[in-house]
């Protein structure tokens, strides 16, 4: 089931629901693009196309250039995250202890690679340089829950528990 879009049409204008209207104070102000993109992502967890056009009107920068900025910075997303954000650690300790194999198991189980979201919107997989849990390596974090000392069997069990929880 597709989630409702965060905007609605009112006549020929698109109005973003919940997007901070105080952002119009940035109209024409140099250097305002990044704060506006951050605000959109904070409000929606990604930057919807309608927000790009809305921001374009505020800052006077064409949408194509705004897309260029969004795709340049890794902090910005053009697609929503899954219900569960699964971050795989690839720090030195995790790498030495098999994070590459753990990543392959996750990919096989979920059918997606790093940077992708499952079709059902449940999981988004990200790779991070270090989660700071070296004594638990290899480790992954799902939302705020840390799972360490992973092996293929343990990963499958953890993923199934999140899938069954819905």
User: What pLDDT sits at residue 102?
Assistant: 95
pLDDT digits (tens, 9 = 90+) for 124-163: 999 999 999 999 999 999 999 999 999 999 999 999 999 9
Give the CATH class of 84-165. Answer: alpha beta
d(CA 88, CA 32): 33
Contact call for residues 139 and 148 (beta carbons, < 8 A): yes
DSSP tag of 24: G
Domain boundaries, the chain: 7-72, 84-165
DSSP tag of 3: P
Helix (H) or strand (E) segment spanning residue 152: helix 152-165
User: What pLDDT sits at residue 97?
Assistant: 96
Helix (H) or strand (E) segment spanning residue 142: strand 140-142
Q: What percent of the chain has pLDDT over 70?
A: 82
User: What pLDDT sits at residue 124?
Assistant: 95
pLDDT digits (tens, 9 = 90+) for 13-71: 445 655 655 555 656 666 789 988 998 898 888 999 989 988 888 888 999 999 999 99
Return the structure tokens found at 142: 């799902």
């Amino acid at each position: 089931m597709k989630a409702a879009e965060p905007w609605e049409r009112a006549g020929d204008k698109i109005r973003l629901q919940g997007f901070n209207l105080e952002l119009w104070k940035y109209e024409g102000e140099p250097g305002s693009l990044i704060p506006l993109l951050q605000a959109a992502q904070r409000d929606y967890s990604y930057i919807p196309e309608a927000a790009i056009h809305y921001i374009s009107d505020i800052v006077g920068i064409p949408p194509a250039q705004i897309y260029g900025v969004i795709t340049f910075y890794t902090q910005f997303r053009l697609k929503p995250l899954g219900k569960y954000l699964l971050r795989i650690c690839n720090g030195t300790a995790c790498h030495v202890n098999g994070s590459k194999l753990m990543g392959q198991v996750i990919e096989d189980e979920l059918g997606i690679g790093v940077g992708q979201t499952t079709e059902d919107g449940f999981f988004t997989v990200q790779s991070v340089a270090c989660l700071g849990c070296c004594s638990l390596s290899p480790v992954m974090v799902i939302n705020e829950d840390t799972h360490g000392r992973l092996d293929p069997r343990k990963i499958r069990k953890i993923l199934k528990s999140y899938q069954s929880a819905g």
